[in-house]
Structures are given as C-alpha cells and as structure tokens.
Amino acid sequence: MSEENRKIAFICSKGNLDMAYPALIMGWAALGNGIDVTIFFTFWGLDMVTKKRVDKLEIAPVANTSFKLSLMGLPTGNLGIPNIMGILPGMTAFASWFMKKKMEKLEVPPVSEYLEMLHDAGANIYGCKMTVDMFGLEEDDFLDVVDGVVTAGDFMDMTEGAQIVFI
C-alpha cells in the first residue's frame, strides 16, 4: 500500500475520560504521518462529541483494576487503589479532577480542543446514526467538528481499506 493510501479509522464506544484520549492521541500521530483519519463515535463514545457532555467526562475508579493511587502521586509502593475505595462519595469526581490536572500539566489539550485540532487538520468525525436515534439526539447536540451522523454501513464504506481500531 502506498503512503498516500494509508488510512486508519477509530471506533470510540466509551465515554470515560481515560477512554477519550487513546483515539485522539493516535489520530493526531497518524495525521502527522500523512495517514487519513476517520473517527466514529457510537454508544457512550458519543459523549465525547456531545456539547453537554464533552467537558464533563469522568474517570471512574470503581472496577477499574488499572487505576492506581500512584498515578495520582500518592505513595503506595506497588499497591493499587482497592476497588472498594472507588465507591466512596466523591472518588469519581476526585479522580477525574486529578487526571485533568495531570493532563493540563503535560499540556495535553482538553477533549473538545483535541477534537477541534483533529478536525482542523483533516480528520473525519462522525456519529453513529443508530445510537443517535436510540438516545434521542439531534445533530444540533453535537460539537461543530462532527461532520455528520452516518450508519455503520456508511462508515464501513467510507473506511474501506483502513486499519480499524476499536476503543
């Protein structure tokens, strides 16, 4: 496959803060390498491109076995956060706030800004029609970077020959 034909497509199905960044970071890297990028948001992944939700994405420590106190800068040795602590009131808000602060310190743009950068650089961004209909959403509910709402079949046609990454 020649360099000019390289394509990658991301399917984003989760709306957690920690699931937002993988597609954004990899998409940005792909664009920087001249690869065509398409991102398809479905189910809870639509939160990433919904005006009312994009700035309220959270990271839930409950049942997140990889969530570690050490990621939050707390001395724990090799201990992770016990799952039971995730149910404490305020833990999701605290974990989300802390992750956003760490990202800010690393100068990682917020999700909405990252999406704008991707779109401005040529990434194609779509919402899933079935999910939009199921959730009772309208195209006006989405950020301006969303190029449209398409069916899964349309997405497959648009990304023929692309490497597909499901997140």
Give tens-digit pLDDT for 34-75.
Answer: 999 999 999 999 999 999 999 999 987 766 656 655 455 554
Residue 90: the pLDDT is 80
C-alpha 136/C-alpha 116 separation (Å) is: 24
Task: For each of the domains in the chain, give its residue range(s) and CATH number, in order of start.
Answer: 3-166 (3.40.1260.10)
83: pLDDT strictly greater than 80? no
- Give yes or no for a contact between 149 and 135, defined as CB atoms under 8 angstroms apart: no
Rounded to 10°, the helix 91-105/17-32 angle is 20
pTM of the model: 0.84
Q: Tell me: the pLDDT tens digits for 99-153?
A: 888 889 999 999 999 999 999 999 999 999 999 999 999 989 999 999 999 999 9
Structure tokens at 16: 């957690």
Q: How confident is the model at residue 98 (pLDDT cuts 50, 70, 90)?
A: confident
Kindly indicate the confidence band of residue 89, based on its pLDDT and cuts at 50, 70 and 90: confident
Asked if 1 contacts 157 with a C-beta cutoff of 8 angstroms, the reply is no
The DSSP H or E segment spanning 24 is helix 17-32
